Amino acid sequence: MKKILVIRFSALGDIAMTVPVVNDLATQYPDLEITMLSREMARPLFERLPKNVHFVAADLKGRHKGLRGLNHLLRDIHFREFDYIADLHDVLRTQWLRFICRLFEKKVAKIDKGRKGKKALTRQKNKVFVQQATSFERYAKALEQLGFPTKPTFTKLDYSSFCETQKANNETWIGIAPFAKHEAKVYPMAKMEEVIKALCERKNTTLFLFGGGTEEKKRIAELCAKYPNVQSAQSQQGLAGELALMDQLDVMLSMDSANMHLASLVGTRVVSVWGGTHPFAGFLGWNQKMGDCVQIELPCRPCSAYGNKPCLRGDYACMTSIAPEQIMEKLSPYL
């Protein structure tokens, strides 16, 4: 049996976007043994994939930190046993791993990040407003370079066995993930609370708020105390429990963040809010629709592919100018 090592570290959302592609690889090449090398936090994403997919966690802050740590990592995963290496990240860490694997005559391929197209899309003047290849397409292209073309057949992950609570037939469950790492990707909380208040006025409706940081948990607790039908989505079963909850939602309202991708993996419709970033950069969730994206047109946006640049105007108008009513209008078809 041939063996392939698939590598993707980075943020949870980026790792989540590998799931449909790895699933398709596994189902369409059942005689291929696949090892997914990533961060421990992502393990639940791969536990429901076909049996020829194995997950290995890299301890990038401990044993596998730095150049010496990467060499430990290569030995720990027995890299000489692999026939193919697919680098779906292409950063200094993975470039070193690729270099060593090439020395041992392994067949190696890497992702094309499409930097030129994204730069043209996000530059200040003369933007080239063209849909870029999605991350899913870029991941699949890297695998194709190794001789494994795939067709996109993935539907959803099944986490029904992890359900801690079950929705009644007459209930509406709405997920809200109001947080993101960068300010250009966050809808103002005061306006988000207007959306939450309006949704809470619906009968038989429960809202679940998703967020994991210390400040995020604090803000979620405040909203849960203020609105009786608002609950925290944090699960005792961790990420797997949250995925099971997402699977039962009628709709998820999310920023351009990891929760958009997680909800997409379990087949939930997502209304996503876009500010400094844009779906044209290729990061819309799996099987999500452009028509469900909430965004306004401004000559300065998108200013970044990843949302990590400060606002050129200084006022984040791309987010602050979105009215709560616009979000409610996008949500209404799913309620």
Q: What is the pLDDT of residues 8-39, one digit of tens each?
A: 998 999 999 999 999 999 999 999 999 999 99
0.85 surpassed by pTM: yes
* Domain ranges in the chain with CATH number 3.40.50.2000: 3-145, 160-334
| Position 165 confidence tier, pLDDT thresholds 50, 70, 90 | confident
The helix/strand/coil state of 55 is strand
Which amino acid, residue 100?
A: I
pLDDT at 27: 98
Handedness of CA 133, 139, 144, 150 (dihedral sign): negative
DSSP state of 72: H
Residue corresponding to tokens 């860490």:
93
| Residue 7 Rama label (left phi>0; alpha psi -120 to 50; beta) | beta
**Could you give the CA distance from residue 253 to residue 234 in angstroms, rounded to a whole number?**
16
Taking alpha carbons only, the member of 261, 278, 325 closest to residue 118 is 278
Residue 227 has what pLDDT?
A: 96
- 278 torsion bin: left (phi>0), alpha (psi -120 to 50), beta (else): beta
What is the edge-to-edge ordering of all strands in the sheet holding 230-232? Answer: 230-232, 205-209, 172-177, 251-255, 270-273, 293-294
Q: Where are any strands of DSSP class E within 99-204?
A: 107-110, 172-177
Q: How confident is the model at residue 146 (pLDDT cuts 50, 70, 90)?
A: very high
Segment 141-148 shows an average pLDDT of 98
Element (H, E) at 57: strand 53-57
Share of the chain above pLDDT 70, in %: 100
Fold of 160-334: Rossmann fold (3.40.50)
Burial class, 67, CB count within 10 angstroms (exposed 0-12 / middle 13-18 / buried 19+): exposed
Percent of the chain with pLDDT over 90: 94
**Residue 166: its pLDDT value, please?**
83
CA–CA distances in Å: residue 139 to residues 77, 123, 136, 155, 282: 22, 25, 5, 17, 12
Order across the sheet with 33-38: list the strands. Answer: 53-57, 33-38, 3-7, 84-87, 107-110
Q: What is the CATH number of domain 3-145?
A: 3.40.50.2000
Assess whether pLDDT exceeds 80 at residue 164.
no
Which residues, in sequence order, are CB contacts of 89 under 8 Å at separation 6+? 7, 8, 9, 10, 14, 111
Residue found under tokens 């070193």: 96
Whether 117 and 128 have beta carbons less than 8 Å apart is answered as yes
Confidence band (pLDDT; 50, 70, 90) for 167? confident
pLDDT of residue 161 exceeding 80 = no
What integer is the mean pLDDT of 117-136? 96
Any residues with CB less than 8 A from the CB of 211 and at least 6 apart, and which?
A: 177, 178, 179, 217, 219, 220
What average pLDDT score do residues 119-148 get? 97
pLDDT at 213: 86
Residues 66-101: pLDDT tens digits?
999 999 999 999 999 999 999 999 999 999 999 999
User: Which pLDDT score, from 0 to 100, does residue 86 have?
Assistant: 98
More confident residue, 177 or 160: 177
The residue to which tokens 């989505």 are assigned? 233
For residue 305, pLDDT over 80 is answered with: yes
| pLDDT of 55 higher than 90 | yes
Give the mean pLDDT of 263-283: 98
pLDDT of residue 224: 96
